[in-house]
Amino acid sequence: MDFALNDEQRGIQELAREVAEAEIVPHAAAWDREHRFPVELYARLGELGLMGVCVPEELGGAGADFLSYVLVLEELSRADAGVGVTVAVHTSAATLPIVAFGSGEQRGRLVPPLARGELLGAFALTEPESGSDAGSLRTTATRDGDGWVIDGTKQWITNASHAGLFVLFARTDPTTTGARGVSAFLLDREHVEVVREEEKLGLNSSSTADIRLGGVYVPADRMLHAERKGFTVAMATLDGGRIGIAAQAVGIAQAAYDTARAYALERRQFGSRIADFQAIQFTLAEMSTSIDAARLLTYRAAWRKQAGLPHTTEGAKAKLFASRVAVDVARDAIQVLGGYGYTKEFPVERYYRDAKVTEIYEGTSEIQRIVIARGILQQHERTLPVVGAV
Ligand code: CAA
């Protein structure tokens, strides 16, 4: 077992850290305040190869491994978790399923512009009545000659307002109500009507919108993978995506810890630095230990995915744990900063608002526990109740 990053992984981590410190950190508070999606940043990240880190070189990506990609998400999220989720959904949820399941034509046409950041990707699974119970989705795709006509509404779609490519899930078999009648489609911007931009607690530099598909016709070659195999595409995609959200959570927690540590070493009360008080020392010790554990779970899941090993349970464990750590560490960082932590003068209140959603999207913590329980009890059938609502 080797815990050291290799030269390539360290190089990509340093590149992401440098660009995050120079081009994201100085603007993150303003983007949050102004709810601004920094569209110009993604062209820049594309130039640097950071919009397709783990996409093969022959498809226009940087050709690095999945752990390198996770390191990039961690660094970007440490600077601005809204940027982190934009890149995570674009890569894990929109680009990688095309790499994994796409036809030669789909891969050749769509993956290079996605990997270069010329096209932004979105993943449209969730609907108003179908969140945690993703298999109950109601959007329909009805056969029409050689193609399909798609009708429905998708909700809380990350990147929707800026995306040029949507991996969208629709029911192609109206005789089934569950996961088995679902197929995946690759839609363009013009197929989709953005109906509403969401207002959120945090992640204000990211875009989350509702979209409508109003009887849009797509030819048969827009189907991704086989008919009625869409749910498998969605679940396999989320297996990797959840590792990315765990990395985002680690990045947020690291940023909150760094701020709390620096503040504790500066702030003086009762004649001492507050870092000299055991109450603060113990808080920082707990934060640092939890972040290490979350990071190790995340890197293990990434390593397993890269090695082609099963990673469903490991990814769910990483997301479950890291998201809890992000919320706990961000909350405790506010406590270390006291009144200053509650103000916009310091970034820890933003970290706290941003952290919360890591316990919700790409499967709530309750869904992660179901996935883990199924894995450890080897129950692959739907035998456990689904709780929690995305
Ligand atoms: N990999 C591949 N295939 C899988 C799979 C996996 N990990 N898990 C399930 N499948 C397949 C099954 O084999 C089965 O296929 P067959 O019918 O061919 O046998 C099919 O999918 C149905 O599986 P289940 O019976 O397990 O399905 P279920 O209805 O019980 O649902 C669930 C399981 C885990 C609860 C699932 O609904 C789920 O993950 N829900 C949460 C949804 C979610 O995470 N949404 C996130 C939205 S995207 C997002 O948040 C992005 C963002 O903006 C950041």
CATH classification code of 7-120: 1.10.540.10
Closest of 194, 189, 240 to residue 218, by C-alpha = 189
Q: Indicate if ligand 1 lies below 6 Å from the C-beta of 48.
A: no
The CA angle 371-93-375, to the nearest 5 degrees, is: 15
Taking CA atoms only, the protein residue closest to ligand 1 atom 8 is: 235
From ligand 1's centre to the CA of 175, what distance in Å?
19
Q: CA 237, CA 146: separation in Å to the nearest integer?
A: 27
CATH classification code of 122-228: 2.40.110.10
Please give the model's pTM, rounded to 2 decimal places. Answer: 0.96
Alpha helices in 37-171 (DSSP H): 39-47, 66-79, 81-88, 96-101, 104-115
Q: Indicate if ligand 1 lies below 6 Å from the C-beta of 362.
A: yes
Are 42 and 95 spatial neighbours (Cβ–Cβ below 8 Å)? no
From ligand 1's centre to the CA of 367, what distance in Å?
10
Enclosing H/E stretch for 257 = helix 230-266
Closest of 137, 115, 89, 114 to residue 242, by C-alpha = 89
Closest of 23, 32, 36, 28 to residue 80, by C-alpha = 28
Hey, what CATH topology would domain 232-380 get?
Butyryl-CoA Dehydrogenase, subunit A; domain 3 (1.20.140)
Q: Indicate if ligand 1 lies below 6 Å from the C-beta of 179.
A: yes
The per-residue pLDDT for 384 is: 40
Query: Which residues are identified as catalytic?
Result: 362
State the residue for tokens 């961690």.
74
Taking CA atoms only, the protein residue closest to ligand 1 atom 43 is: 363
**pLDDT 10s digit of each residue in the chain, 390 long?**
899 999 999 999 999 999 999 999 999 999 999 999 999 999 999 999 999 999 999 999 999 999 999 999 999 999 999 999 999 999 999 999 999 999 999 999 999 999 999 999 999 999 999 999 999 999 999 999 999 999 999 999 999 999 999 999 999 998 988 899 999 999 999 999 999 999 999 999 999 999 999 999 999 999 999 999 999 999 999 999 999 999 999 999 999 999 999 999 999 999 999 999 999 999 999 999 999 999 999 999 999 999 999 999 999 999 999 999 999 999 999 999 999 999 999 999 999 999 999 999 999 999 999 999 999 998 664 444 444 444
Q: What is the pLDDT of residues 208-267, one digit of tens each?
A: 999 999 999 999 999 999 999 999 999 999 999 999 999 999 999 999 999 999 999 999
From ligand 1's centre to the CA of 270, what distance in Å?
54
From ligand 1's centre to the CA of 358, what distance in Å?
18
Taking CA atoms only, the protein residue closest to ligand 1 atom 22 is: 179
Residue 25 contacts by C-beta under 8 Å, 6 or more apart in sequence? 79, 80
Closest of 111, 110, 128 to residue 211, by C-alpha = 128
> First-to-last CA distance in the chain?
37
Closest of 309, 388, 321 to residue 358, by C-alpha = 321
From ligand 1's centre to the CA of 166, what distance in Å?
18
Taking CA atoms only, the protein residue closest to ligand 1 atom 21 is: 232
Q: Indicate if ligand 1 lies below 6 Å from the C-beta of 365.
A: no
The per-residue pLDDT for 176 is: 87
Q: Indicate if ligand 1 lies below 6 Å from the C-beta of 120.
A: no
Q: Indicate if ligand 1 lies below 6 Å from the C-beta of 206.
A: no
The domains of the chain are located at 7-120, 122-228, 232-380
Q: Indicate if ligand 1 lies below 6 Å from the C-beta of 382.
A: yes
Are 31 and 84 spatial neighbours (Cβ–Cβ below 8 Å)? no
Q: What is the pLDDT of residues 37-58, one digit of tens each?
A: 999 999 999 999 999 999 999 9
Mutate to test the pocket of ligand 1, among 92, 235, 357, 377 (most ligand atoms within 8 A of CB): 235
